[in-house]
Structure 1
Amino acid sequence: MAKRRLSMADEMSFPNKTRQFLDLVGVTKNPQNSEDFESEKFLFLTQISLAADQPRRYFCAQAMESLITSIREHGILQPLLVRPLESGKYELIAGERRLRAAQTLGIEEVPVIIRCLNEQEAFQVALLENLQREDLNPVEETEAILQLLSMRLACSIAEVISLLNHVANLKKQKTEITNNVVRSQWEMVEHIFAVIGRVSPDSFRTHRLPLLNLPKDVLEILRQGKIEYTKARIIAQVKDEAQRHELLTKILEENLSVREIKKYIQTMEPSLASKPHVIPSRMKEAYRRVKQSKIWQDPKKAKTLEKLLGQIEALLE
């Protein structure tokens, strides 16, 4: 009986850290009777479909054009990662940019590595692959890491954040983790961050999680990669929604620098929403003037003042 040839996975290097990702998910090896053990595999583009929940949502136009140029000159050097479906087709797990580039260039067949993964395993590997993108923006990175941690720890994103804060507090108090469940979860967290290799758990908690507290309009523009994080933080300081929208529009149309944004904000008309400290000072000044005035001697004005005072008291209840 002829000796089985090595699989394509053994003969070719996985792109980026795919082998580590598959190992993390626990699916590095497939059954020996799997069709994966072929020396070479090419699929027609018509045989490959995108998953319904592709983690990647935005593509940098400049990076795509650069990839298209590279593939036109050298071909597809790294195979796409796919999984077989019951329909006989294959679902893309990693390599959407390469797939789109091939479609643009009219390439009919592409090299692939096939792995038998279920939906959850495939989504986890896709998330991990997505985290290796050079054009990944901070919001996408934060959301992808939280999704991955949630799936690996089998808990909600809120519980993941709670775990990160809990362990951070223990470290601050120089206290060891005594709870076995928490210790096991934290070991998994550290392992995942080590495989991702982009950021540490502590750095993620202190520098990435606060991103999710940005105003929704700023968060969405940042998520789409239309502005940088440094600009987003400055824009978020404008609390008035209408003024912030005006500023966002100007930045996108004129590509303002950080310095220009700060200068423009200084020229904007201050509002109570963006200057909350103004209200207490105005209240104090109004109270001082009421005490010094003779408004009490005017029955009509005194009645109006009493009505306004009642409204203020109602607000404080």
Structure 2
Amino acid sequence: MSVRKHRSQPYQIKGVDALFGELPLAEVAAEILPLSQIALPQQQPRRYFDPMAMQELVESIRQHGILQPILVRPLLDDKYELVAGERRYRAAVSAGLEEVPVVIRELTDNDALQLALLENLQREDLNPIEETEGILQLIALKLNTTSESAIALLNQAAHPKRNSVDNVIHSKDWQLVQEVFNTVGKFTPESFRTNRLPLLTLPDEVLAALRLGQIAYTKARAIAKVNDLGQRQALLESAIAENLSLTQIKQRVAQIIDCSTNQSDRSQSSSLKNRMDVTYRLAKKSKIWENPKKQKQIEKLLAELEKLFSQD
């Protein structure tokens, strides 16, 4: 089946011009392409799709078709790789469509991945983990570095006492970082570093629930304050099953921490008593009493103990 022209809404990703310069996607006419000729990319930024939201999109496509074309780039053997529009692609497959409107552009691997990330970051249903990882990956691609180096640069700019912050914020790399945040339009570098980077160090089970959209990131951060794995897992399951509010979660976290502290205090008290018993038995068997110099030390220690116990 050949590619043919198609009239649809113009293709547009907010911020494309800022990040890519001359890439007039909105000016490119859409074409019709068989779904069988479109392949998903090996590196896909999006991992989780809300089932309810996807079903709504499937029903919309069944009734109205795909209003905004999918962005693809040509491969070998008359095939095309999906660049942006994975939700629409998946929904079209579920809706039983045989062909979809597309915009075809020649793109490098780097540009294709950046466009895919940028479109995903503009979705309202993107979960906080994917959003955080997506922004870091976008920064890393712009700087031609790793996500770890991008994190290091963000931290560097926030600690002037340990690093030369002036050198960082006036560097070309930092200008590119600012461009990314200005394009995404949801965070400043500092708010992203403070509120989103900590999500990447959450315990595995909390991170998994957050990635699946089962819990809000504010609730996830509160639950992560529970150190005990069993207690944390139980609280996480309750928070999801009972749809606990952030206030309720914080109350339960406080109770768990308070209980753990009291148990620790009781354990420490019991340990001190045991040590006192052991010391007393050793003292009775010791020959220290025959040493005049050590007798004076014992007198001082006994006097301090007597004073301490009399204050109870």
- TM > 0.5: yes
Cα offsets for 1:131-189 (capped at 9, x unmatched): 0110112111111111111111112222212211222234x89x773479x61001111
Unaligned runs of 5+ in 2: 286-312
Separation (CA, whole Å) in 2 of partners of 1:70 and 1:44: 19
| RMSD of aligned Cα (Å) | 3.4
Aligned-pair identity in percent equals 45
- Structure 1 residue corresponding to 2:60, chosen from 70, 79, 85: 70
Q: Does the CA-based 8 Å contact 1:8-1:38 persist in structure 2?
A: no
> What is the alpha-carbon distance in structure 1 between the residues aligned to residue 30 and residue 222 of structure 2?
52
Select between 157-166 and 261-270 the one with higher mean Cα deviation.
261-270
Paired residue type of 1:149: I
Match for residue 203 of structure 1 among 191, 195, 209:
191
Q: Give a deviation string over 1:51-86, Cα, whole Å, max 9, x none.
A: 111100001122212222322332211010001001
State the distance in 2 between where 1:187 and 1:264 align.
Answer: 43
The amino acid of 1:116's aligned partner reads: E
More moved, 112-121 vs 158-167? 158-167
Q: Structure 1 residue 28 and structure 2 residue 23: aligned?
A: yes
Alpha-carbon distance between aligned partners in 1 of 2:143 and 2:86, rounded to the nearest angstrom: 27
Aligned counterparts of 1:290 and 1:38: Cα–Cα separation in 2 = 81
* C-alpha distance in structure 1 between counterparts of 2:28 and 2:222, whole Å: 54
Deviations 1:22-76 (A, max 9, x none): 662456169xxxxxx9744100111111111110000112221222232233221
- The DSSP-based 3-state class of the residue aligned with 2:166 is coil
Q: Which residue of 1 aligns with 2:11?
A: 14
Question: What's the offset of the Cα at 1:8?
Answer: 8.0
Structure having the higher Rg = 2
SS in 1 for 2:196: helix
Residues 29 and 103, structure 2, Cα contact 8 Å, conserved in 1: no
Q: Does 1:82 align with 2:67?
A: no
What TM-score does the superposition give when structure 1 sets the normalisation length? 0.76
Structure 1 stretches of 4+ moved >6 Å: none
CA distance 1:240–1:84, shift in 2 (3 Å):
same
Change (3 A) 1:277 1:130: farther
CA distance in 1, matches of 2:283, 2:158: 62
Unaligned runs of 5+ in 1: 1-6, 31-36, 300-317
2:118 to 128, 138, 143: 128
**1:177 corresponds to which residue?**
166
Distance 2:271 2:40 in 1: 63
Q: 2:206 aligns with which of 214, 218, 226?
A: 218
Q: Does 1:159 align with 2:144?
A: no
The whole-number CA distance in structure 1 between the counterparts of 2:166 and 2:28 is 47
Aligned partners of 1:112, 1:119: CA distance in 2, in Å? 18
> Conserved in 1, the CA contact under 8 Å of 2:28 and 2:103?
no
Could you tell me how far apart the structure 1 residues matched to 2:175 and 2:30 are? 38
- CA gap 1:224/1:159 in 2 versus in 1, 3 angstroms: same
- The alpha-carbon deviation at position 14 of structure 1 amounts to 2.1
Provide the C-alpha distance between the structure 1 equivalents of 2:246 and 2:196, rounded to a whole number of angstroms. 20
Aligned match of 2:233: 245
Q: Is 1:43 the counterpart of 2:28 in the alignment?
A: no
TM-score, structure 2 as length reference: 0.77
Q: Whole-Å Cα distance in 2 between the matches of residues 60 and 164 of structure 1?
A: 31
Q: 1:236 aligns with which of 211, 221, 224?
A: 224
In structure 1, the partner of 2:281 is: 295
Counterpart CA distance in 2 for 1:42 and 1:28 is: 21
Distance in 1 between residues matched to 2:206 and 2:34, nearest whole Å: 40
Name 1:188's counterpart in structure 2.
176
SS for the counterpart of 1:65 is helix
1:100 aligns with 2:90: yes
Q: Distance in 1 between matches of 2:149 and 2:254?
A: 40
Secondary structure, aligned partner of 1:177 = helix
Distance (whole Å) between structure 1 residues aligned to residue 210 and residue 267 of structure 2: 36
The one-character-per-residue Cα deviations of 1:280-315 (angstroms, maximum 9, x if unpaired) are: x8547744663477332576xxxxxxxxxxxxxxxx
The 1:46–1:298 alpha-carbon spacing in structure 2 relative to 1, beyond 3 Å, is farther
The residue that corresponds to 1:60 in the other structure is: 50
Q: Distance in 2 between matches of 1:144 and 1:25?
A: 17
Structure 2 vs 1, CA of residues 143 and 260 (structure 1 numbering), >3 Å: closer, same or farther?
Answer: same
Deviation at 1:266, TM superposition (A): 5.8
Task: Please report how far the alpha carbon of residue 249 of structure 1 lies from its aligned counterpart in structure 2 after TM superposition.
Answer: 2.5
